[in-house]
Amino acid sequence: MSAPAWGVDSEHGALLDVLVCRPDNFRWLPTSAISRATLEAGHRFDSGLAARQHAEMVSAYERAGVAVHHLDPDPALPYQVFTRDSSAMTPGGAVIAQLHQWWRRGEYAAAIRFYQQSDIPVRGMITAAALEGGDVMILEPGCAVVGAGEARTQEPAARQLASWLADDGWEVRVEPIPERFVHIDVLIAVLAERLAAVCVEALSGGFIRWLRERGFELIEVSADDAFQLGSNAISLGGERVLSLNTAGSLNEAMRARGLTVEELDLSMFTLGGGGAHCLVQALRRERLG
């Protein structure tokens, strides 16, 4: 039996391959309201702890049978560790993103090299404006949402990607989000089939109704918890989820619904503005559609 094609058509099909980047060059920068709050509070960055936490995350994927691929760390790119953002994976292959902030803009180069060297198809390259992968959420086969908070992903680029997916017959919603929360994956995580953790108070009523009309059960996450990356979980498929050890109420709610939850300590990264979902790009999931 041949291996499934590269790409994803959901956020919860069995996860087969992910892309990460070692935090060799990572340090906190005032990239968002989240990291600015960390710096203003006087927290201290520990590069050794960051390396250990990242290695434990990689081990968690390997224990789950996920193949882990690595970007080449570039000393000029301190936030390259958040591999979710430099590209977005679609059913037809990777989309190369265009990151908004100057200290992240060069991340496209390593992403392009990786996909070319790995013979992974590139579906397209964003040219209309800025788009970051953390704003692209493949909810389920045939349905996606692209967040547009303008400080990171801008509406023209969101609509460019939406049009490509629409050409493939997909329903795509472009959803404005509050700039404070950086990316839409800080506000929503698909945990299993039609089950999502959602920060209801920070998203529009229309979007929440749209999710419910599509049959999604929503586990509500407070804005305070979301701001600390408490809803930035990632499904491994098979009702298994990687989550933060600080997301107590969400983890309890997932276990109450029969999900298996592995908790990770990623404090060096959440304080810098990204969580479990931000730190990997899903390259390949079992197709559900």
End-to-end, the C-alpha distance of the chain in Å comes to 18
CATH number at residue 23: 3.75.10.10
* Count of CA atoms in the C-beta half-sphere (13 A) of 174: 18
pLDDT at 176: 98
- Tell me if 129 is assigned to some domain: yes
Whose tokens are 């999604």? That residue is 216
The pTM of the full predicted model, rounded to 2 decimals, is 0.96
Q: Helix, strand or coil for residue 221?
A: coil
Residue 93 lies in a domain: yes
pLDDT at residue 288 in the model: 96
Residues in the chain: 289
Q: Look at residue 273 in the predicted model and tell me its pLDDT.
A: 97
CA 266 – CA 268 distance, rounded (Å): 6
How far apart CA 121 and CA 192 sit, in angstroms, is 27
Look up residue 61 and give its two tokens.
């994927």
Is 4 inside a domain boundary?
Answer: no
The boundaries of the domain holding residue 143 are 15-285
Give 263's contacts (C-beta < 8 A, 6+ positions apart).
243, 244, 245, 247, 251
Residue 96 located in a structural domain: yes
6 domain-assigned:
no
Number of domains in the chain: 1
pLDDT of the residue at 4:
60
Instruction: Determine, yes or no, domain membership for 188.
Output: yes
Can you give the pLDDT at residue 58?
98
Query: Per-residue pLDDT for the chain (289 aa), expressed as one digit of tens each?
Result: 455 689 999 999 999 999 999 999 999 999 999 999 999 999 999 999 999 999 999 999 999 999 999 999 999 999 999 999 999 999 999 999 999 999 999 999 999 999 999 999 999 999 999 999 999 999 999 999 999 999 999 999 999 999 999 999 999 999 999 999 999 999 999 999 999 999 999 999 999 999 999 999 999 999 999 999 999 999 999 999 999 999 999 999 999 999 999 999 999 999 999 999 999 999 999 999 8
Q: 112 lies in a domain?
A: yes
d(CA 235, CA 183): 18
Domain contains 8: no
Distance between CA atoms of residues 200 and 140, nearest Å: 19
